[in-house]
Chains A and B, each alone.
Chain A
Amino acid sequence: MEPHHTFSIVPPIVFGLTFVGIIFEKYEKSLLALLSAAVLIVAGYVTPEEAIEAINFETIILLMSMMMLVEIAKQSGIFSWLNVRLVASTKGNPLAIYLVFSLLTAVLSAFLDNVTTILIVIPITIELFRGLGQNPKKIILAEIFMSNIGGTLTLIGDPPNIIIGGATGFSFNAFIENLWIPVLISITLILSITVMQNWKDVKPIKHNCTKLLLSMMLLRRLRYRFVRMDLSTAFIVKVLSIMSLTILGFMLNSFHHVPAHIVALLGSTLLALLCTQNICIHKVLQTVEWTTLLFFAGLFVLVAGVEHTGILTNISLFIVNSTNNFALILLLVLWVSGIVSMILDNIPFVTVMIPVIVGIQGNLAGQPHLDLLWWALALGTCIGGNGTMIGASANVIGVDLANKEGVHISFLSYTKTALPLTLLALSISSAYILIRYFST
């Protein structure tokens, strides 16, 4: 079958229908993406060879390896240990609990997947805050924001970054070097604002014995439950060592030139082998989100089909021709990504945007700040996800967890709190991108 490499409206229509299907969540999104990819192959818009070539295996291997690594780490009990240690360090002070757990979420999200981080952190904070008689809604929201913003910091922090990293070859350190300033400022400002907004709930209780006693009871209960867990020091040491080595491997990429996905694969398989006695590898593999990985694979083929029609090149040309002001293009990329990510799944959006950005770069060759386009895309998609309840998987999971625990967070109440803070973080990112553009 000869591929149709001329302009056709079929691939964009298939892509559009898939997107609508994803939005309505009626069917499993991985099935929709795979089916659409298969339709494009059968219809001859992409050859089977092109389809295989279109799949970014670096991204898929990196995601799979990190999922394995995190699952083994979870089974070692290290996250429970960390939670208990941190809770003890707060001495029952609600403000300290608020800050420590929000920052923990941000830090963990930079290195683990956001949903895992939310699953680790939210249950314990709900228990602590509710136990203290406070409504845990505010801290849940703060943790969701921190998870999305923290995830923006690194190559492995959020799927859009993994996709951008896979497409551009940017190193682990490049992400941190280019994104730490807006991430840090956003975290500091959002935490300060939310603390001020919730001062009544988080103010120190060191002068109130009844609240203090309740808090101490909660802390002791957590410690008791932790002591009852059958933890193996050897297992934890193995996990800590391999995880540290893997992160070090990401950071030292400029010396050893081993790609990030291979570093992650090495780390996860080595850890699985070393911990054979502590884990059941089949169970670990079962926890890898294969549906997500298949979704990625289908999406890559789908976008390749759309790309072959030339529509994405036309979009790039349209953006470049609509203005000769590069700063405006940067802001356009950041804000469009941000706003779209508030409403739609940012993974297909980023996948589509990759060829668009590559096209813009091609059309503006010689412009000294082309890399800023990628950072604008990363900041827009990751931070924009905070805007609404459906903007990112972490939001959906966090709100679901809260609902299960009887803390109702409605779409409107989420948006009311999240939207202004997201706009603030996007403004900070815009200012950062513009300063980078004008200062060098």
Chain B
Amino acid sequence: MIDRYSDLMRTIEMEIGTYSLQTFMLDALRDTVNAYEGNSMENFCEQMNAIINIVTSTQPKFSSIIDCYFTFRDHALHVQEKHPGCFCEQKQYLLEGLAAIQSKSEEDYLKLLHQTKHLNFNGKNILIHDHSTSVQDTLWTLKKNGQHFRVIVAEQDSEKTLNIIETLTRRSIPFHTVPAYMISNIEDDIDVCLFGCLTLKNTYDFVVDTGTTAIVTQCHMRKIPIYVVLTTSKFALWDATTKDVNQVKHTRKHPWKDITFERLKFSHDRIPLTDVDWVLTEKGIHSHDELRSLYDSHFKKRKLQEQSMKEEESK
């Protein structure tokens, strides 16, 4: 089951980006609550625990989803305690809780976009690479705020690049594309890089789209300012034990010669926080040192939560 969830979440994340995946997973959870025909809240909470066990074990882990699902599980426990009665009535409270979680996440996201007022990208060429809703919306907000800039899209998987092109065209943002491996030829034209990410790990590495590391490293060496956009719900608040990168091995055949070879593909890249100049969150624009402190405070808070949960369970 964990593998199936991992595969599906990874595919969806690649198709629509991490932020949209979070909304998607909350919508799917709402559909599940609606369709579930259990007879007691106790039963539902047990099943919710099973779901949390799965989402906290997927490869990679999606911190924002884990965050929302934990919050919902707490809400379910609260409903069980405060609103005894039949499950069909309690369902309504569950749905209200889900709606509140969704609103909170949207609110955080809007706050994140609001931070763009501190950015001045007027007249600049902005390099983007990943298919991130946050990056697209950041650009859209900058444009709505009257800033004029041009986007350089570093091409990656054709479907993702086409998605980016569709969005930029729909929003009338001027752009041109360049194959990602040819970036070195236009380094002088790039004024700033803007990236989204899947998560920030406790090793202070961002998990990003494949191919992003090469571009970030290149820009970092050239001292081109690098910005990463993420909400704090994307902080991975657990000890990193695995690489959070999925590797797939394909056997390929040469199209016209009798040669078979192995081809490795990876789901994500990692970039160290220190390679990034500025990070936008709903709380502000942070240097990497500031973000490290912010991450640590969230991490400590989660550890305390987990500790108290364990204590409750042992009681």
> Chain A residues in contact with chain B, CB under 8 A?
91-92, 131, 133, 206-210, 212-214, 216-221, 224-225
Contacts and interface: CB of A to CB of B under 8 A. Distances in A.
The 10 closest A-B pairs by CB, nearest first: A209-B47, A216-B31, A216-B28, A206-B37, A213-B32, A217-B28, A212-B32, A216-B32, A220-B28, A133-B4
Contact of A209 (B12, B24, B27, B48): B48
B38 interface: yes
Contact of A219 (B5, B9, B31): B31
A206 B35 contact: yes
A221 B48 CA distance: 21
10 contacts: A92-B35, A206-B36, A207-B38, A210-B50, A212-B32, A214-B4, A216-B32, A216-B35, A220-B24, A220-B31
B29 interface: yes
B251 to A, nearest CB: 13
A124 to B, nearest CB: 15
Contacts of A213: 28-29, 32, 51
B44 A209 contact: yes
A190 B38 CA distance: 32
Contact of B36 (A131, A209, A217, A218): A209
Contacts of A221: 8, 11-12, 15, 24
A209 B1 CA distance: 12
B32 A209 contact: yes
Contacts of B48: 209
B190 interface: no
A350 B97 CA distance: 64
B25 interface: yes
B54 interface: yes
Contacts of B25: 217
Size bin of chain B's contact surface: 20 to 34
B237 to A, nearest CB: 22
Contacts of B51: 209-210, 213
B16 interface: yes
B235 to A, nearest CB: 23
Nearest to A217: B28
Interface in B251-304: none
A212 B48 CA distance: 11
Given A206-B35, A212-B32, A212-B35, A217 B24 contact: yes
Given A209-B48, A209-B50, A133 B35 contact: no
Interface string B38-61: 100000100110110010000000
A27 B232 CA distance: 63
A131 B54 contact: no
A219 B36 CA distance: 15
Nearest to A230: B166
Interface of B: 1, 4-5, 8-9, 11-12, 15-16, 24-25, 27-29, 31-32, 35-38, 44, 47-48, 50-51, 54
Chain B interface mostly: helix
Chain A CB within 10 A, most for which of B4, B24, B29, B37: B4
The winner among A91, A210, A218 for most chain B CB atoms within 10 A is A210
A214 B8 contact: yes
B10 to A, nearest CB: 12
A220 B8 contact: no
Given A206-B36, A217-B12, A224-B24, 5 more contacts: A209-B38, A210-B1, A214-B4, A214-B8, A216-B29
Contacts of B50: 209-210
A218 B47 contact: no
Nearest to B54: A210
Contacts of A208: 47
B72 to A, nearest CB: 12
Contacts of A214: 1, 4-5, 8
A212 to B, nearest CB: 5
Contacts of A92: 31, 35
Contacts of B24: 217, 220-221, 224
Nearest to A223: B27
A211 to B, nearest CB: 8
B170 to A, nearest CB: 12
Contacts of A219: 31
Nearest to A131: B8
A58 B51 CA distance: 59
B16 A224 contact: yes
A136 B182 CA distance: 43
A216 B9 CA distance: 12
Nearest to A213: B32
A219 B32 CA distance: 11
A212 B28 CA distance: 9
B195 to A, nearest CB: 23
A92 B16 CA distance: 22
Contacts of A207: 36-38
A130 to B, nearest CB: 9
Nearest to A133: B4
A137 to B, nearest CB: 17
Nearest to A91: B35
A40 B272 CA distance: 77
A248 to B, nearest CB: 38
A52 B164 CA distance: 56
Contacts of B9: 217
A217 B7 CA distance: 12
A131 to B, nearest CB: 6
A425 B8 CA distance: 39
A291 to B, nearest CB: 25
A210 to B, nearest CB: 5
A213 B15 CA distance: 19
A208 to B, nearest CB: 7
A229 to B, nearest CB: 12
A107 B34 CA distance: 30
B199 to A, nearest CB: 19
A437 B18 CA distance: 66
Contacts of B54: 210
B5 A212 contact: no
